[in-house]
Amino acid sequence: MSDTSHYQPNKAKPDLGAAVSEIKTAFTGKAEELADRSTESGAAAVSALGKTAATLAGSLEEQSPAVAEYVRSTGQRIDRLADDLRDKSAGELLTMATDFGKRQPLALLAGSAIVGFALARIVKAGIGASAEAAGPRANEPNVGRIDV
């Protein structure tokens, strides 16, 4: 006499599938929310760069009108880019970047190198500033030294 009424293997699978589906939906929603926040932060940074270009163009107007006009038009393009970043979702931006990379792989590679170089300089400047704030001998070991 065996009692098999308590064990039902098919009943556990739908519950597990529903849980996985619920977790996937929650994770996807959070990932999209984070990506959209990052996109908005990026748009704000790009917009600030456009305003900087406009200010620079204004200061160059008297000395070199041709250069000022070039900087002004570049600033306007940067402003349009910031607007595009605000208007598009992270998925749309990723699709656009992928398409651009397929059409212009050398330009994408060059842009990546420039961004990498800029980030390296920013990190290096931050490390240098923190070492200066810590003092002139912050990186030296304390072994055998007596500070008075």
Q: How confident is the model at residue 33 (pLDDT cuts 50, 70, 90)?
A: confident
Listed residue (66, 44, 48) closest to 57, CA to CA:
66
- Phi, psi at residue 104, to the nearest 5°? -130, 70
Amino acid 136: pLDDT: 55
Write down the residue that tokens 């330009």 correspond to.
107
Tell me how long the chain is.
148
Listed residue (83, 86, 98, 90) closest to 29, CA to CA:
90
What is the mean pLDDT of the segment spanning 52-78?
87
Question: Who wins on pLDDT, 66 or 40?
Answer: 66
Amino acid 20: pLDDT: 74
